[in-house]
């Protein structure tokens, strides 16, 4: 990697990607266990004037991350980092599609059917989907480690 702009864009992309990965892990380890602790009573944490709502974060950060992917692709297009950014971006897009088409609808169905006899099974399924979503996003981040290593650490 030759230009400073390509290094800076790659560092920014790496940072925002791992901020998102960390936030997902926090949700999986802290928020989700509380939400599913005693369904449907634990769903109360989502209700009321001061209910838990992370939608502002999740409607913002993935879009910023996508923006940084585009910036890094443009800045690193003539470098060896390009292929790794493309692979990472593909996993990032796959995780977004999975979130919108599987994880979010499963959560909405879970909340809407809080009196369903299969609620525990639905909850377990949604939680597995959420872990799979995190794994896809983690893979996106891990694919960025190679160009980070080659461009910034290895000399």
Q: How far apart are CA 136 and CA 103, in angstroms?
A: 13
What's the pLDDT at 39?
A: 85
Q: In this model, does residue 18 exceed pLDDT 70?
A: yes
**What's the first-to-final CA gap in the chain, in angstroms?**
10
For CA atoms 91, 97, 101, 103, give the dihedral sign: positive
The per-residue pLDDT of the chain, averaged, comes to 91
Query: What token pair was written down for 81?
Result: 């980092």
| pLDDT tens readout for residues 46-88 | 888 888 999 999 999 999 999 999 999 999 999 999 999 999 9
Radius of gyration of the chain (CA): 18
Residue predicted with more confidence, 135 or 39: 135
Give dist(CA 119, CA 125) in Å, integer. 10
Cα gap 134→20, rounded to integer Å: 9
Domain segments of the chain as ranges: 4-153
Asked if residue 142 has pLDDT above 90, the reply is: yes
Average pLDDT over residues 115-125: 87
Torsion over CA of 67, 70, 71 and 73, rounded to 10 degrees?
A: 160
Rounded distance, CA 74 to CA 82, Å? 9
CA 94 – CA 78 distance, rounded (Å): 25
pLDDT reported for residue 155: 55
Q: Given pLDDT bands bounded at 50, 70 and 90, which one contains residue 131?
A: very high
Taken in order 93, 89, 133, 42, the sign of the CA dihedral is negative
111 versus 153: the higher-pLDDT residue is: 111
DSSP string, 52-89: ---HHHHHHHHHHHHHHHHHHHHHTTTSTHHHHHHHHH
CA distance 45 to 23: 19
Q: Given this model, what pLDDT does residue 32 score?
A: 92
Number of Cβ atoms within 10 Å of the Cβ of 143: 20
Query: Quick one: pLDDT band at residue 111, thresholds 50, 70, 90?
Result: confident
Of residues 44 and 152, the one with the higher pLDDT is: 44
Q: How confident is the model at residue 5 (pLDDT cuts 50, 70, 90)?
A: confident
- What percentage of the chain reaches a pLDDT higher than 90? 68
């Amino acid at each position: 990697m030759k230009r400073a702009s390509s290094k800076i864009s790659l560092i920014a992309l790496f940072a925002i990607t791992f901020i998102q990965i960390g936030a997902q892990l926090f949700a999986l380890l802290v928020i989700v266990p509380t939400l599913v602790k005693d369904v449907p009573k634990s769903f109360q944490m989502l209700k009321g004037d001061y209910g838990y709502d992370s939608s502002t974060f999740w409607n913002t950060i993935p879009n910023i991350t996508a923006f940084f992917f585009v910036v890094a692709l443009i800045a690193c297009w003539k470098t060896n980092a390009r292929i790794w950014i493309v692979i990472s971006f593909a996993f990032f897009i796959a995780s977004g599609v999975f979130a919108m088409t599987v994880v979010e609808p499963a959560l909405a169905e879970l909340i809407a059917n809080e009196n369903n006899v299969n609620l525990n099974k639905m909850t377990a399924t949604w939680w597995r989907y959420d872990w799979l979503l995190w794994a896809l996003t983690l893979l996106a981040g891990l694919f960025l480690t190679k160009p980070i290593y080659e461009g910034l650490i290895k000399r």
